[in-house]
Amino acid sequence: MSNLIQINDLCVKYGKIEALRDLNLTINEGEYIGIIGANGGGKSTLLKTILGLTKQYKGTITYNGTTLKKSNLSIGYVPQTNELNRMFPITVEEVVLTAKIPLKKSFFYRYSDEDHKEVNTVLEKVGLSKIKERQISDLSGGEFQKLLIARALALNPNILLLDEPTAMVDIKSQKQIYTLIKRLSREMTIVMVTHHVKDITKQAGKLIFLERNILAEGDPEEVYKYAYLKPVGVLNREPRSREVTRV
Amino acid sequence: MIQDILKYQYLQYALITSVLVSLVAGLIGVIIVEKKQVMLTGGIAHTSYGGVGLGYLLGFEPLLGAFIFAVTAALGSNLIKNRMTGVSDVIIAIFWSLGMSLGILFIGLIPGYPPDVTSYLFGNILSVTTLNLVLMAIITLIVLIVIVVFFQDWRAHLFDPEFTTIRGKRTKLMENILLFLIAITVVALIRVVGIILVIALLSIPAATASLLTRKLHLRMILAVLFGLMFTIFGLFISAYTMLSSGAVIVIFGFAVYIITYLGTRYLIRVKKVEAV
Ligand SMILES: Nc1ncnc2c1ncn2[C@@H]1O[C@H](COP(=O)(O)OP(=O)(O)OP(=O)(O)O)[C@@H](O)[C@H]1O
Ligand SMILES: [Mg+2]
């Protein structure tokens, strides 16, 4: 198992708000990591920082031992849907195609047959190929989530980061998405943030309980117990050191 | 009417102006409506009044002053927004009022009779000068080229700039280019509908088009056509009645929007009834 992403002493602040403090984390190749924790605990911030979207942070993150750009690592990202404009005039296929726009020389770009074929493959993978002509405003919450997963897969990622892909989704679609991610976890490294603690505990190889810092990390059942047998309101306290909280 | 157009140069200029501003307003209008930047655009427009005042005070083309102020406000607000979080509407308010105040101040400082600034505030499509026309043509060309050539990039950027950033696209640069385009569009529209009504010409054609199609490029094309319809209507009403072209354009546009809205609602209802 090789070390894919290594995070050392990561601190992220938004103005005065400290979202992450002294965080250390190793993501190994092939791992399926679940991240849980209260609202505002810094879960999304952690994913965004890994993606290079947060510019101001302290600490180091290495990708395959080097920087993100030099690492040749392709990171797929499924954002929290509430950050996107669901009324935007664009179809299912067009959303996934945006992953195929070349980085340079994109003027007058027309998608190639190859692009369409690859997009069709990922749409089939998530079960959306029948509705690829549909406008995103006509999708259900579950379908929209699957679409965002398809778009991430169109980048041929080595590692997939998902931010609450089952929020705002009915039980049936939740099951489908979990099954899908389970299947994907055989092909790539997965890091998933979720509030559906029970489901992730069943699936993930490792669970992380994150509130500003990693309060517990390891076997999903153990971390689940730790997170639920502890009094609420941890955010207001000084984060305890990891060794002490490992119970 | 045709004879009048052939006879009077100001009518010819006004017609060319209609075409130019409809093009920029249609393209940029659809973008700012989708990106929810209508208020930001309103702020940029009002800030440019400071430039108009400065132009009068120092004796250079007021539209050039408007251009400088609009671009500064657009790029400046983005710079500040990137440094601070969650205060963007306050920044807009500050730029908005500061620009207007500077304009009023500069015009007050001009010795003797103050110049007539109503055509800048409310617009007058019939008083377009050759210099204005050249300026508008250049602006239209820039906007048209940048949007059309990189259309796929713009659509991806508008839908999810975070995703394009992850892909390695230069999102910050695109954001600034877009703000620059918005600023120069505002300048192009000032002569036609005036600073106060700029956002109307940007939002009403785009909003009307959005009722009719859910394809981004068709929305842009339709918005251009609606803009053309509104401005030409306003042009002739104002040519034959002396009413303000800006006001006529906005009110007529609003009426068309309402009619389109009711029409599409009615069609949806009828279709549903048929489906049952
Ligand atoms: N862009 C931002 N500007 C200012 N503060 C922010 C920003 N993004 C996040 N924060 C703050 O940082 C902290 C962590 O936020 P984050 O979104 O990472 O939490 P989260 O664990 O993903 O929460 P949730 O479960 O609600 O999605 C919160 O206090 C939040 O208010
Ligand atoms: Mg979050």
Q: What per-residue confidence (pLDDT) applies to A51?
A: 95
Q: For residues B201 and B23, what is the distance between their CA atoms, to the nearest angstrom?
A: 11
Q: What per-residue confidence (pLDDT) applies to A246?
A: 39
Residue contact B34–A101, C-beta within 8 A = no
Which residues neighbour B14 within 8 Å (Cβ) at sequence distance 6 or greater?
B125, B126, B128, B235, B239
Q: What band does A243 get if pLDDT is binned at 50, 70 and 90?
A: very low
Q: What band does B198 get if pLDDT is binned at 50, 70 and 90?
A: very high
A150-159, B38-47, B106-115: lowest mean pLDDT where?
Answer: B106-115
Q: What band does B2 get if pLDDT is binned at 50, 70 and 90?
A: confident
Chain A CB contacts of B154 below 8 Å: none
pLDDT digits (tens, 9 = 90+) for A26-84: 999 999 999 999 999 999 999 999 999 998 899 999 999 899 888 889 999 999 988 89
B40 in Cβ contact with B92 (< 8 Å): yes
Is the CB–ligand 1 distance for residue A39 below 6 Å? yes
Ligand 1 pocket: which of A12, A21, A23, A39 to mutate (most atoms <8 Å of CB)? A39
Q: For residues A198 and A193, what is the distance between their CA atoms, to the nearest angstrom?
A: 13
For residue B28, pLDDT beyond 60: yes
B239 in Cβ contact with B248 (< 8 Å): no
Q: What per-residue confidence (pLDDT) applies to A245?
A: 41
Question: What proportion of chain B, given as a percentage, has pLDDT over 70?
Answer: 97
Q: What per-residue confidence (pLDDT) applies to A60?
A: 94
Q: What per-residue confidence (pLDDT) applies to B272?
A: 65
Question: Which whole-number Å values give the CA distances from B187 to B2, B44, B135, B137, B201, in the listed order?
Answer: 29, 10, 9, 12, 12
Q: For residues B192 and B227, what is the distance between their CA atoms, to the nearest angstrom?
A: 12
For residue A239, pLDDT beyond 60: no
Q: What per-residue confidence (pLDDT) applies to B119?
A: 87
Question: What proportion of chain B, given as a percentage, has pLDDT over 90?
Answer: 72
The residue of chain B with its CA nearest to that of A96 is: B156
Residue contact A53–B156, C-beta within 8 A = no
For residue B251, pLDDT beyond 80: yes
Averaged pLDDT, B145-173: 94
Averaged pLDDT, B131-135: 91
Residue with tokens 């099954």: A179
Ligand 2: centre distance to CA A43 (Å): 6
Averaged pLDDT, A207-236: 79
Q: What per-residue confidence (pLDDT) applies to A237?
A: 39
Q: What per-residue confidence (pLDDT) applies to B86?
A: 59
Q: Report helix, strand or coil for A101.
A: coil
A148: left (phi over 0), alpha (psi -120 to 50) or beta: alpha
Q: Report helix, strand or coil for A167.
A: coil
Q: What band does B275 get if pLDDT is binned at 50, 70 and 90?
A: very low
Q: What per-residue confidence (pLDDT) applies to B112?
A: 85
Domains (ranges, CATH) in chain A? 3-231 (3.40.50.300)
For residue B16, pLDDT beyond 50: yes
For residue B92, pLDDT beyond 80: yes
Averaged pLDDT, B158-169: 94
Is the CB–ligand 1 distance for residue A17 below 6 Å? yes
Q: For residues B55 and A21, what is the distance between their CA atoms, to the nearest angstrom?
A: 52
Nearest-CA residue for ligand 1 atom 5 is: A14
pLDDT digits (tens, 9 = 90+) for B51-69: 999 999 999 999 999 999 9
Q: For residues B51 and A127, what is the distance between their CA atoms, to the nearest angstrom?
A: 55
Question: What proportion of chain A, given as a percentage, has pLDDT over 90?
Answer: 71
Domains (ranges, CATH) in chain B? 2-275 (1.10.3470.10)
CA atoms within 13 A on the CB side of A69: 3
Q: What per-residue confidence (pLDDT) applies to B274?
A: 52
Ligand 1: centre distance to CA A40 (Å): 5
CB atoms inside a 10 Å sphere around CB A224: 20
Please give the angle made by the CA atoms of B177, B183 and B185, to the nearest 5 degrees: 100
CA atoms within 13 A on the CB side of A22: 6
Q: For residues B117 and B41, what is the distance between their CA atoms, to the nearest angstrom?
A: 21
Query: Of A5, A1, A8, whose CA–CA distance to A64 is shortest?
Result: A5
